[in-house]
Each structure stands twice: as C-alpha cells, then as structure tokens.
Amino acid sequence: MTDPVRHWVRSASRIAVLTGAGMSAESGVPTFRDAQTGLWAKFDPQQLATEHAFRANPKMVWDWYAFRRDLIAKVEPNAGHRALAAFSRRHPGRLTLITQNVDGLHQRAGSEGALALHGNIFEDKWLDTPGACCNADAAVADTPPYCGRCGNLLRPAVVWFGEALPARALAAAEAAANECDVMLVVGTSGVVYPAAGLARTAAGKVVIINPEPTELDDAADAVLRGRAAQLLPLLLED
C-alpha cells in the first residue's frame, strides 16, 4: 500500500503533514496522561493544565511543567522527525508541518517553520498582558518567575484547556489543508479539534499513518498501519 502513497507524495506540489502524540511517543515522550507518575500520579492533568489552576496554585502547576520538561528533555527526535526535516531541506516550501505536540522534537530535528498548534513546553510567556516593565530576561527567578515591578507571572507557552489555539498558526494550518495535494496524518487519534478537522477539510489525498485505528480513518484515501519512524522515511525518500 505504500507504493501508491509514495507516488502521491512524489507528484504533490504541496504537502501538509499533521502530527500528534503518537509521533512523539515513538521517541519515548510519555503521553499527556502517561506522564502522571510518582508525585503527580494523584493529579488529573486536565485539572492542572488550565489558567484557573495556575492562578490558584502557580507553584504547583509550574513544578508540574518543570517535571514534564525534564522528561521530554531526555528524549531525542526519531527517524520520522528527521525524515520530515530532511525532506523540507531538500524541497523548500513544498511541505507544511502542523503539529499538536508541544515537545519541540520537530524543531530539534531541524524542521523550520513548524506550526505548533498547541505551543511549545520549553517556551514561556506572560500570564497577563505584559506591560512595558515585563522583560522575561529580567524576571525574578522564582517558582514561577515574575516581573519584579508589576508581579506578572511567567507561564508555559502551551495551550491550556479552555484556551483558543494561536490564531496565526491555525489560519496557516487551515490554508495548508485547503491547498494541499496530499495530507499525511501521523500519530494522532483524531479526537482533538480543531486540529483533527484539518484532515476532514483537506483538499488533497488524506493518508493516515498510525499503528491503531483512528477517528479519522473514514476520511482517509489510504490508511497505513505502522509507526511513523518506519514509514515516513520510506514515503519521503526521493
């Protein structure tokens, strides 16, 4: 089944790739719930990953994200991440990478301009609208860091439950879906919207790459049962 998909990819002028948690799991990144171990096993991540939780107990939520950052920092991009980055270098402007993952593995593999719909766990931003006094480089080193003049807190630059996706990244992702000849949907269950909706609105062929059935299989022109680290290097070779 890979041969027809390889032909679609080779002949496509515009390729969109949507990646989800399964892509990172192959590198050893725990899924959102699987990361709840040890001290954090008693906490519901959906209760921690909210603005309300952070305002109520900023130290606890910051410490939880520090724990997750430590876990992710220990893993490396896999062959699938590297294949996407290598293809983009060989074919500038031809592939748009859209990811639901916050781990930065695509960027570490060398993919530039990835549309990170849910943010990046290794970056911070201000909790409230920053004033002229808010300088992240001069923030008071605390848990979490804060502006020494106004008290504004730094928070992880990820999309929390109840928050909208970054408008520019989502608009660019929607445009890529609407203009693509092929969309590869890699390692995502297809249950998280609006990201999953991109596959249903894609203009071109939709290819699902996942070891297990997904909620998007019915929207696919082809379903490849396998791991991204195995299949993407085959599909993206010249």
User: The CATH number of the domain where 98 resides is what?
Assistant: 3.40.50.1220
CA–CA distance from 141 to each of 127, 138, 211, 216 (Å)?
16, 9, 43, 44
| 61 part of a folded domain | no
Number of domains composing the chain: 1
Give the structural domain span for 16: 1-28+77-118+162-238
CA–CA distance from 66 to each of 40, 60, 123, 143, 153 (Å)?
12, 10, 11, 10, 15
| 149 part of a folded domain | no
| 41 part of a folded domain | no
Contact 60, 42 (CB under 8 A): no
Residue 205, strand partner residues: 182
* Rounded Cα gap, residues 85 and 183, in angstroms: 16
| 178 part of a folded domain | yes
- List residues with catalytic annotation: 118
Q: Per-residue pLDDT for the chain (238 aa), expressed as one digit of tens each?
A: 678 999 999 999 999 999 999 999 999 887 655 554 554 455 677 788 999 999 999 999 999 999 889 989 999 999 999 999 999 999 999 999 999 999 999 999 999 999 999 999 999 999 999 999 999 999 999 999 999 999 999 999 999 999 999 999 999 999 999 999 999 999 999 988 899 999 999 999 999 999 999 999 999 999 999 999 999 999 999 8
Residue 38 region by backbone torsions, left for phi larger than 0, else alpha for psi between -120 and 50, else beta: left
* Rounded Cα gap, residues 51 and 228, in angstroms: 33
Give the H or E element holding residue 141. Answer: none
| 136 part of a folded domain | no
Question: Reduced to 3 states, what is the DSSP secondary structure of residue 154?
Answer: strand
| 82 part of a folded domain | yes
The whole-model pTM stands at 0.92
| 231 part of a folded domain | yes
| 110 part of a folded domain | yes
